[in-house]
Chains A and B, each alone.
Chain A
Amino acid sequence: QVQLVESGGGVVQPGRSLRLSCAASGFTFSSYGMHWVRQAPGKGLEWVAVIWFDGSNKYYADSMKGRFTISRDNSKNTLYLQMSSLTVEDTAVYYCASNKGSYGYHGMDVWGQGTTVTVSS
Chain B
Amino acid sequence: QSALTQSASVSGSLGQSITISCTGTSSDVGGYNYVSWYQQHAGKAPKLMIYDVTNRPSGVSNRFSGSRSGNTASLTISGLQAEDEADYYCSSYTSSSHWVFGGGTKLTVL
Contact = CB atoms under 8 A, between A and B. Distances in A.
B64 interface: no
Contacts, number: 66
A106 B99 contact: no
Contacts of B40: 45
Interface stretch (B16-24, B45-53, B78-86): B45-53
Nearest to A112: B45
Interface residues on B, range: 20 to 34
A27 interface: no
A47 B93 contact: no
Given A106-B51, A106-B52, A113 B99 contact: no
A113 B1 contact: no
Contacts of A47: 91, 98-101
Given A44-B89, A105-B34, A111-B47, A61 B103 contact: no
Interface residues on A, range: 20 to 34
A45 B89 contact: yes
Contact of B51 (A50, A109, A112): A109
B3 interface: yes
B45 A109 contact: no
Nearest to B51: A107
A9 B91 CA distance: 25
A44 B104 contact: yes
Given A106-B52, A108-B48, 13 more contacts: A35-B99, A45-B101, A47-B99, A61-B98, A62-B1, A62-B98, A104-B93, A104-B99, A105-B32, A105-B93, A107-B36, A109-B51, A111-B47
- List 5 tightest A-B contacts by C-beta distance, closest first: A107-B51, A107-B36, A111-B45, A44-B104, A47-B99
